[in-house]
Chains A and B, each alone.
Chain A
Amino acid sequence: MEDRIRLLKKKANQIRKLIIEMLAAAGSGHPGGSLSSADIIACLYFDVLRYDPKNPSWPERDRFHLSKGHACPALYAALALAGYFDTEELWKLRKLGALLQGHSDRRVPGIDVGSGSLGQGLSVALGMALAGKIDKRDYRVYCIMGDGELQEGNIWEAAMAVSHFRLDNLCAVIDYNHFQIDGRVDEVMNPEPLSDKWKAFGWNVIECNGHSMKELLESFDTARKVKGKPTMIIAHTIKGKGVSFMEGVVDFHGRAPTEEERKIALNELENNEASKGKE
Chain B
Amino acid sequence: MEKLYARDIYGKTLVELGKKDDNIVVLDADLSNSTRTAFFRKEFPGRFFNFGVAEQNMMASAAGLASCGKIVFVSTFAMFATARPLDQLRNTVCYNNFNVKIVATHSGITVGEDGASHQALEDIAILRSIPHIRIVVPADAMEAKDAVIAAYKEEGPFYIRLGRPKVAAIEGRREFSLGKGYILRKGRDLAIIACGIMVGEALKAQEMLKSKGIYATVANVHTIKPIDKNFIIELAKEYKHILVCEEHQSVGGLCSAVSEVLSRSYPVKVGSIGINDRFGQSGSPQELLDAYQLSSPHIAKRAEELIRS
B residues near A165, Cβ cutoff 8 Å: 49
User: In whole angstroms, what is the CA distance A65 to B61 when docked?
Assistant: 12
Report which of B49, B66, B69, B88 forms a contact with A120, defined as CB distance below 8 A: B88
Q: Report yes or no: A128 in contact with B91, Cβ–Cβ below 8 A.
A: no
Q: Report yes or no: B51 in contact with A127, Cβ–Cβ below 8 A.
A: no
Q: Report yes or no: A131 in contact with B95, Cβ–Cβ below 8 A.
A: no
Q: Report yes or no: A130 in contact with B61, Cβ–Cβ below 8 A.
A: yes
Q: Report yes or no: B88 in contact with A127, Cβ–Cβ below 8 A.
A: no
Which stretch (A91-99, A154-162, A243-251, A253-261) binds chain B?
A154-162
Q: How many residue pairs bridge A and B at CB < 8 Å?
A: 105
Residue of A nearest to B72 (CB): A127
Q: Does A112 contact B (CB under 8 A)?
A: yes
Query: In the complex, what's the smallest C-beta–C-beta distance from B70 to chain A, in angstroms?
Result: 6
Q: Report yes or no: B56 in contact with A153, Cβ–Cβ below 8 A.
A: yes
A residues near B52, Cβ cutoff 8 Å: 160-161, 164
Q: Report yes or no: B56 in contact with A128, Cβ–Cβ below 8 A.
A: no
Q: Report yes or no: A161 in contact with B57, Cβ–Cβ below 8 A.
A: yes
User: In whole angstroms, what is the CA distance A115 to B47 when docked?
Assistant: 26
Given contacts A127-B62, A130-B64, A165-B49, contact A117 B92 (CB under 8 A): yes
User: In whole angstroms, what is the CA distance A27 to B240 when docked?
Assistant: 55
Report which of B64, B70, B87, B96 forms a contact with A106, defined as CB distance below 8 A: B96
Q: Report yes or no: A120 in contact with B92, Cβ–Cβ below 8 A.
A: yes
Main secondary structure of the interface of B (DSSP, over half): helix
Contact with A along B25-65 (1 / 0, CB 8 A): 10000000000000000000011010110101111111111
A residues near B1, Cβ cutoff 8 Å: none
Main secondary structure of the interface of A (DSSP, over half): helix
Q: Which residues of chain B in 224-267 are interfacial with respect to chain A, using CB atoms and an 8 Å cutoff?
A: none
Report which of B66, B69, B91 forms a contact with A116, defined as CB distance below 8 A: B91
Q: Report yes or no: B57 in contact with A125, Cβ–Cβ below 8 A.
A: no
Query: In the complex, what's the smallest C-beta–C-beta distance from A176 to chain B, in angstroms?
Result: 22
Q: Does A1 contact B (CB under 8 A)?
A: no
Q: Does A74 contact B (CB under 8 A)?
A: no
Query: In the complex, what's the smallest C-beta–C-beta distance from B89 to chain A, in angstroms?
Result: 11
B residues near A161, Cβ cutoff 8 Å: 51-52, 54, 57, 61
Count residues of A near B (Cβ-Cβ below 8 Å): 32
A residues near B60, Cβ cutoff 8 Å: 120-121, 123-124, 126-127, 154, 158
User: In whole angstroms, what is the CA distance A135 to B47 when docked?
Assistant: 10
Q: Report yes or no: B96 in contact with A157, Cβ–Cβ below 8 A.
A: no
Q: Does A102 contact B (CB under 8 A)?
A: no
Q: Report yes or no: B61 in contact with A134, Cβ–Cβ below 8 A.
A: no
Query: In the complex, what's the smallest C-beta–C-beta distance from A112 to chain B, in angstroms?
Result: 5
Q: Which residues of chain B in 80-95 are interfacial with respect to chain A, using CB atoms and an 8 Å cutoff?
A: 87-88, 91-92, 95
Residue of B nearest to A139 (CB): B68
Residue of B nearest to A114 (CB): B96
Q: Does B67 contact A (CB under 8 A)?
A: yes
Q: Report yes or no: B57 in contact with A158, Cβ–Cβ below 8 A.
A: yes
Q: Report yes or no: B91 in contact with A120, Cβ–Cβ below 8 A.
A: yes
Residue of B nearest to A164 (CB): B52
Query: In the complex, what's the smallest C-beta–C-beta distance from A238 to chain B, in angstroms?
Result: 29
Query: In the complex, what's the smallest C-beta–C-beta distance from B47 to chain A, in angstroms?
Result: 6
Q: Report yes or no: A124 in contact with B92, Cβ–Cβ below 8 A.
A: yes
A residues near B59, Cβ cutoff 8 Å: 123
User: In whole angstroms, what is the CA distance A126 to B67 when docked?
Assistant: 11
User: In whole angstroms, what is the CA distance A224 to B58 when docked?
Assistant: 26
Query: In the complex, what's the smallest C-beta–C-beta distance from B299 to chain A, in angstroms?
Result: 41
A residues near B51, Cβ cutoff 8 Å: 157, 161
Given contacts A132-B68, A157-B56, contact A124 B63 (CB under 8 A): yes
Q: Report yes or no: A124 in contact with B87, Cβ–Cβ below 8 A.
A: no
Q: Which residues of chain A in 78-117 are interfacial with respect to chain B, using CB atoms and an 8 Å cutoff?
A: 106, 112-117
Report which of B46, B88, B97 forms a contact with A123, defined as CB distance below 8 A: B88
Q: Which residues of chain A in 52-71 are interfacial with respect to chain B, using CB atoms and an 8 Å cutoff?
A: 59, 63, 65
Q: Report yes or no: A134 in contact with B46, Cβ–Cβ below 8 A.
A: yes
Q: Which residues of chain A in 167-218 are interfacial with respect to chain B, using CB atoms and an 8 Å cutoff?
A: none
Query: In the complex, what's the smallest C-beta–C-beta distance from A163 to chain B, in angstroms?
Result: 12
Given contacts A113-B96, A117-B87, A120-B91, contact A128 B65 (CB under 8 A): yes
**From B64, B65, B70, residue with most partner A Cβ within 10 Å:** B64
Q: Report yes or no: A126 in contact with B64, Cβ–Cβ below 8 A.
A: yes
A residues near B69, Cβ cutoff 8 Å: 59, 131
Report which of B49, B70, B91 forms a contact with A117, defined as CB distance below 8 A: B91
User: In whole angstroms, what is the CA distance A37 to B44 when docked?
Assistant: 40
Residue of A nearest to B68 (CB): A131
Can you list 22 pairs linking A and B with CB atoms under 8 Å apart?
Answer: A59-B69, A63-B68, A113-B67, A113-B96, A114-B92, A115-B92, A117-B87, A117-B91, A120-B87, A120-B91, A123-B64, A124-B64, A128-B67, A131-B65, A131-B69, A132-B68, A134-B46, A134-B47, A135-B68, A157-B51, A157-B54, A161-B54
Known: A123-B59, A126-B60. 10 other contacts (CB 8 A): A121-B60, A123-B56, A123-B60, A124-B64, A126-B61, A127-B66, A134-B70, A135-B68, A154-B57, A157-B51
Q: Which 4 A-B pairs have the closest CB atoms?
A: A127-B64, A123-B60, A131-B68, A157-B57
User: Which residues of A are at the interface with B, using a C-beta cutoff of 8 A?
Assistant: 59, 63, 65, 106, 112-117, 120-121, 123-132, 134-135, 153-154, 157-158, 160-161, 164-165
